[in-house]
Amino acid sequence: MASGRLRVAVIGAGSAGLCSARHILSRPLTFEPPVVYETTGQVGGTWVYIEAPGDGPHTHSSMYRDLKTNLPKEIMEFPDFPFDRSLPSFIHHSEVLKYLEAYTDNFCIRPHIKFNTRVVSVYPVIGGHEVSWRVIARNQEEEKLEKFDAVMVCVGHYSHPYVPEIEGLRDFQGQVLHSHFYRYPEGFSSRSVVLLGCGPSGVDIAMELSPHVEQVFLSHRGPPLTWTPPENVSMVPPVVSAAPNALVCEDGRKIQADTLIFCTGYTYHYPFFASETRHSNVFDWGFLEDEDVENPDLGKGHLPPLYKCLIHARYPTLGFIGACKIVVPFPLVHCQAQFFLLALEGKCPLPPPEQMLSESRQELIKHRASGLPLKYLYRLGQNQWEYNQWLADTAGLEPLAPVLRKLYEATRNFRGADPLVYRKINFKILNREEFEIKKEAEV
């Protein structure tokens, strides 16, 4: 690294980028003020609602008009910046955006953001044992190259839809879209709609559509629902092929439908690392040079080899903040950003790159053996709490309060029992260990 204060680029001004910038600014003796690159004209990332999204690759937000959080605000917030306590536990997406805007201004981050600026290339320059970074970014007026000691990639993973291949789909005469582009139910009135995928977005959209459409089919491979859906919502096996006026399920059943919505999640997408932007002295993103180890395909949603889901195993001055899935995101990026910065400062020593690369390779091999898709490699779920604790213990950070896990698990149980009503529940955190459920009438 360069001598003196370190210069760090932050790519993205969503929750992860804002949190990263906030913690860089809190360390003025070690770091210069960050340079935050943001493609759009405002902070918030995916929490910025776009009423009429285009169907191209530059629609970042996946918000739909009436979306409310599926986690209570009491566990969503950054540990050092609470939500307005007068709000209900499950809040409209616009309140989350207000919260991120307030966070931005409270920590004086806005002056360091380059809005309407797209990062087109990121590459390292290797000199001896040190690696520095070059970032090429473009706005409406110019393209500019800047030099940095480290880069924090904070672009999220809700902007590039994953759409599986369906045999015959080109012949299907109905409407086809991904949930990324869904905004409100009124436009689907009197239709027969198939939702492929029964995750949070699939269930939410099915419940929104139910009062407006003739029939909703939730198509998925998972276990039967443990709750009773509306009368016009049915469960069917996965759609595997399409005909002009019908969709065919795995069991051969044909569904007469005029709309197919993919609720199939998202892929990781880092176009600034694309091969055409690489330079001759730039690295190989593969795990190892071994021919028997498949190089991950970024286009299919996998990340470069990461140490602890966070730091590039070969180039530890490159961090991916908030790339983990199925987590409580704001507390997690709060831990990740500080861990990465402490590592840059030398206050949290990392293993040698060879060891980090070996660990990431073993993680990949173990994941493959589980039979799960490669895109689920950094899906934490219940493992997030142990992971957050490891980050805190290793870096000497204050650990997240145990009550967050308890409230997360309680919310999961309520949501699984009845996704139609769980958002009416309100919670109050009493201390680091306990919470209580508040009656709806008290709010």
Helix ranges (DSSP H) in 250-352: 329-345
Does this model's pTM top 0.85? My answer is yes
Query: What class, spelled out in words, does domain 169-262 have in CATH?
Result: alpha beta
Q: In the chain, what is the greatest distance between 2 CA atoms, to the nearest angstrom?
A: 67
Q: What is the pLDDT of residues 19-30, one digit of tens each?
A: 999 999 999 999
Q: Of the candidates 90, 92, 87, 46, which has an alpha carbon nearest to the alpha carbon of residue 65? A: 92
**What's the mean per-residue pLDDT of the chain?**
89
- pLDDT of residue 443 exceeding 60, the answer is no
Q: Can you tell me the distance from the alpha carbon of 414 to that of 437, in angstroms, rounded to the nearest whole number? A: 12
Q: Which tens digits make up the pLDDT trace of 163-220?
A: 999 999 999 999 999 999 999 999 999 999 999 998 899 999 999 999 999 999 999 9
Q: What are phi and psi of 333, to 5 degrees?
A: -70, -25
Per-residue confidence (pLDDT) for residue 283, from 0 to 100: 43
What does the pLDDT read at residue 286? 40
Residue 44 has pLDDT above 80, yes or no: yes
pLDDT of residue 53 exceeding 60: yes
pLDDT for 300? 53
> By C-alpha distance, which of 32, 13, 84 is closest to 443?
84
Is the model's pLDDT at 321 over the cut of 70? yes
Task: Tell me: pLDDT of 276 over 80.
Answer: no
217 or 59: which leads in pLDDT: 217
Instruction: Give yes or no on whether 8-160+267-402 and 169-262 have one common fold.
Output: yes
> What's the whole-number mean pLDDT along residues 10-25?
98
162, two tokens: 């994953």
Is the pLDDT at 292 greater than 60, yes or no? Answer: no
Is the confidence at residue 54, as pLDDT, over 50?
yes
Does 3.90.600.10 match the CATH number of domain 8-160+267-402? no
Band the pLDDT of 375: cuts 50, 70, 90.
Answer: confident
Q: What is the pLDDT of residue 439?
A: 64
The mean-pLDDT minimum among 116-120, 373-377, 427-431 falls in 373-377
Confirm if 22 and 103 have CB atoms less than 8 A apart. Answer: yes
Rg of the chain taking only CA atoms, in angstroms: 22
Burial 305-340 (b: 16+ CB within 10 A, else e): bbbbbbbbbbbbbbbbbbbbbebbbbbbbbbbbbbb
Q: Considering the chain, what percentage of its residues have pLDDT values greater than 90?
A: 74
Confidence label for 310 from pLDDT (cuts 50, 70 and 90): very high
CA 27 to chain centroid, in Å, comes to 26
User: Given a cut of 60, is residue 297 above it in pLDDT?
Assistant: no
pLDDT, average across residues 107-129: 93
pLDDT reading at 277 higher than 80: no
Determine contact, residues 282/122, Cβ cutoff 8 Å: no
Q: Which residue has the higher pLDDT, 50 or 339?
A: 339
Residue located via tokens 């980028």: 17
> Exposure of 346 by Cβ count < 10 A (0-12 exposed, 13-18 middle, 19+ buried)?
exposed
Q: Which amino acid is at 73?
A: K
Burial class (CB within 10 angstroms; exposed 0-12, middle 13-18, buried 19+) of 430 = exposed
Q: What is the pLDDT of residue 299?
A: 46
Least confident of 69-73, 94-98, 364-368: 364-368
Eight-state DSSP code of residue 167? B
Q: Cα–chain-centroid distance for residue 31?
A: 26
Backbone angles phi, psi at 321, to 5 degrees: -95, 125
Asked if residues 288 and 361 have their Cβ atoms less than 8 Å apart, the reply is yes
Which candidate, 22, 24, 28, places its Cα nearest to that of 8?
24
Pair of tokens at residue 138: 């473009």
Q: 69, exposed or middle or buried, with CB in 10 Å at 0-12, 13-18, 19+? A: middle
Residue 360 has pLDDT above 50, yes or no: yes
Residue 281: its pLDDT value, please? Answer: 42
Averaged pLDDT, 432-439: 91
Question: What would the DSSP string read from start to end of 235-265?
Answer: EEPPEEEEETTEEEETTS-EEE-SEEEE---
Domain locations in the chain? Answer: 8-160+267-402, 169-262
Residue 377 DSSP symbol = T
Provide the token pair at 145: 């190259």
402 phi and psi angles, rounded to 5 deg: -55, -25
Euclidean distance between CA atoms 274 and 67, whole angstroms: 33
Look up tokens 């507390």; give the residue.
Answer: 331
Region of poorest pLDDT, from 12-21, 24-33, 273-282: 273-282
- Whole-angstrom Cα distance, residue 118 to residue 133? 16
- Alpha-carbon distance of 327 to 262, in angstroms, equals 22
How many whole angstroms separate alpha carbon 370 and alpha carbon 392? 28
User: Around Cβ 413, how many Cβ atoms within 10 Å?
Assistant: 10
Lowest mean pLDDT across 38-52, 167-181, 266-280: 266-280
DSSP string, 403-426: HHHHHHHHHHHHHHH-TTTGGG-E
322 near 336, Cβ under 8 Å? yes
Say which DSSP state 62 is in: -
